[in-house]
Structure 1
Amino acid sequence: MSLDDERNDGLYGGSGETRTRLPEGEGGGQDVYGGGRRSSRSSSRSLVTVVGVVVVLIAAIAFANRGGGGEESAGGGGDGKKAGADPTAASGARPVDGKTSGIASGFAKSEQGAQSAAANYAVALGSADMFNKAKRDSVLQAVMAPSSVNQFKTELDKAYSVGFFKNVGLNQDGSTPKGYQFVSRTSPIGTKVTNYAPGKATVEVWCSGLLGLAGEKSTKPVTSSWFTITMKLEWVGGDWKAATHSQKDGPAPVPGDERASGSDEISKAAEGYGGFTYAR
């Protein structure tokens, strides 16, 4: 089984073709992360960035001024209204406070609670912890429905094979070679509910992913991918749990004109920037 085939199994985050952008006019022997020229679009992109920051600040201030909290806010509001016409609009609900094995838990029994659960579970299932047997089992125990845990353990034990570890640049036992930083991350871009009934929900999570080894001599540099995860969730023991999990490639945007960062910069970013608790 090839790496692409395994990543498309829908068992862990990140799939699809990736590309490495090398510096113009530079050949072999250079850092594969490289550095390229910035195009004339930089000035216009800077203006868009400034406008975007202003919009985010205004939204943050408005959210902070809402105050509140309590059970009504956590459950998505007492009036039963949806987040709005835009499926990516924030509901204003507070993130959950609970954690199970380091993964967010205690989601509201609502559509937005199901979306929050699916987003957080997508992150966990696409993390570097999945490459370690003990940590992988802990993740599955935290996010999967009890009826699905054993099946997923069996399937993933087969998928995370010596061959797969070799394809991503790891040692035979899934550990990271000395002198390198292994990166495996999934970042949700948006969520939507495609089916909902009391105690059951089907949620799609549009994601970007990072996978690879950061290091000066890495032949498996950190690359990005885009994919959509579909989870069928069940309400079990007072929380949402994933009964099934699958993924497909895309939608993938047109690559930007940013230069590829050096391996040292990628290593420091992977080590220094933590993750989020996602909530609608």
Structure 2
Amino acid sequence: MSFGDEHGYGGDSGRTDDGFGGTGQTRTRLPDGRSGDMYGGPRRPARSSRSLITVVGVVVLLIAAIAFANRDGGGGTSAGGKGAAGPGADPTTATGVEPVTGKNGEIPSGFARNEQGAASAAANYAVTLGSDGMFNAASRQDIIRATHDPATAEGLLSDLDRAYSAAFLANIGLNEDGSTPAGLTFVSRSMPVGTKVTEVSSAAATVEVWSTGLVGLAGEGSTKPVTQTWFTITEKLKWIDGDWKITSSSQTEGPTPVNGDNRASSADEIAKAVQGYGGFTYAR
């Protein structure tokens, strides 16, 4: 995914996305045992990431979806805000305090008031804001209110309702109400790859999350096959009422690795994989 000019939530003027970081180590908690097949669609030549910079207040995979829906349009990237130099990337060995056990709806909550907690919160928010729940008006409201500063949440929701218009949803292959056409499986997932905290105090933190995402429609007859994107989210967090909440965020394209030689799976295989494999909860 790529992002245009840096934007902020609510009191800021535009887009939203997530980021994450920290010096603790990342613990990835897998879902209950699920199985399925691999992702895919006919193998396509590598394609440069594109974005449409006309939508305000969008989060995570909406940017990829815009690129996905407008493949013939041009686009660019811009750097997100940077904080003071911080520690290096997190190793992947699981250490640190026990993962959070609280839930705000389906979203983890109760993160520690330290660098490790800020990184964990940002990682979990990146996953949630990149989910298919963002394409449904009711679940989108729950997600934004659970992850954002109340001072900015309502304004952001107004922007997002305009962004996720019936015309936009139809353009990416969904029905006008955001539901998936019969016989197809809609895929929208964000997967953090690495994290970095660039600023942290007891009241605020700035966290970057390097992520990859999947977006598209899987199944026979899909004209919008599932594609992969790479992006980095810079997320500004604030300590509010006992937990970290997003105040603003921005997103840039990449870093993007070279495509491997893996055979792309069929539309049916990717649909089965999405239905058979659950997502992740990230905690530290």
Code of the aligned partner of 1:12? V
Q: Is the 8 A contact 2:57 2:163 kept in 1?
A: no
For residues 251 and 237 of structure 2, the distance between their equivalents in structure 1, rounded to whole angstroms, comes to 15
Structure-to-structure mapping, 1:107-146, within 5 angstroms: 107-146=111-150
Structure-to-structure mapping, 1:170-185, within 5 angstroms: 170-185=174-189
Give the equivalent residue in structure 1 for 2:212.
Answer: 208
SS in 1 for 2:260: coil
Q: Is the 8 A contact 1:9 1:247 kept in 2?
A: no
Larger Cα Rg: Structure 1 or Structure 2?
A: 1
For residues 9 and 231 of structure 1, the distance between their equivalents in structure 2, rounded to whole angstroms, comes to 17
SS in 1 for 2:159: helix
Give the equivalent residue in structure 1 for 2:163.
Answer: 159
Which of 66, 85, 90 is 1:87 aligned to? Answer: 90
CA distances 1:58-98 after superposition (whole Å, capped 9, x unpaired):
xxxxxxxxxxxxxxxxxxxxxxxxxx965334443321111
SS in 2 for 1:176: coil
Which of 259, 262, 267 is 1:263 aligned to? Answer: 267
Indicate yes or no: 2:239 matched with 1:235: yes
Gaps of 5+ in 2: 1-49, 69-86
For residues 225 and 129 of structure 1, the distance between their equivalents in structure 2, rounded to whole angstroms, comes to 19
CA distances 1:232-260 after superposition (whole Å, capped 9, x unpaired):
10111101011112211111100111011
Specify whether residues 242 and 184 from structure 1 end up closer, same or farther in structure 2 by C-alpha distance, changes over 3 A only.
Answer: same
Which of 141, 148, 152 is 2:152 aligned to? Answer: 148
Q: Is the 8 A contact 1:8 1:248 kept in 2?
A: no
Give the equivalent residue in structure 2 for 1:246.
Answer: 250
SS in 1 for 2:197: strand
Give the equivalent residue in structure 1 for 2:201.
Answer: 197
Q: CA RMSD in A?
A: 2.0
Q: After TM superposition, give the deviation of residue 7 of structure 1 in Å.
A: 9.3
Q: Is the 8 A contact 1:7 1:13 kept in 2?
A: no
> Highest relative contact order (Cα 8 Å, sep 6+), 1 or 2?
2
CA distances 1:144-168 after superposition (whole Å, capped 9, x unpaired):
0111111210111111112221221
TM-score between the two structures when normalised by the length of structure 1: 0.71
TM-score between the two structures when normalised by the length of structure 2: 0.70
Specify whether residues 249 and 10 from structure 1 end up closer, same or farther in structure 2 by C-alpha distance, changes over 3 A only.
Answer: farther
Specify whether residues 250 and 206 from structure 1 end up closer, same or farther in structure 2 by C-alpha distance, changes over 3 A only.
Answer: same
SS in 1 for 2:127: helix
Gaps of 5+ in 1: 19-83
Give the paired residue count.
Answer: 213
Code of the aligned partner of 1:87? D
Which of 42, 51, 71 is 1:4 aligned to? Answer: 51
For residues 10 and 92 of structure 1, the distance between their equivalents in structure 2, rounded to whole angstroms, comes to 34
SS in 1 for 2:271: helix
For residues 263 and 206 of structure 1, the distance between their equivalents in structure 2, rounded to whole angstroms, comes to 27
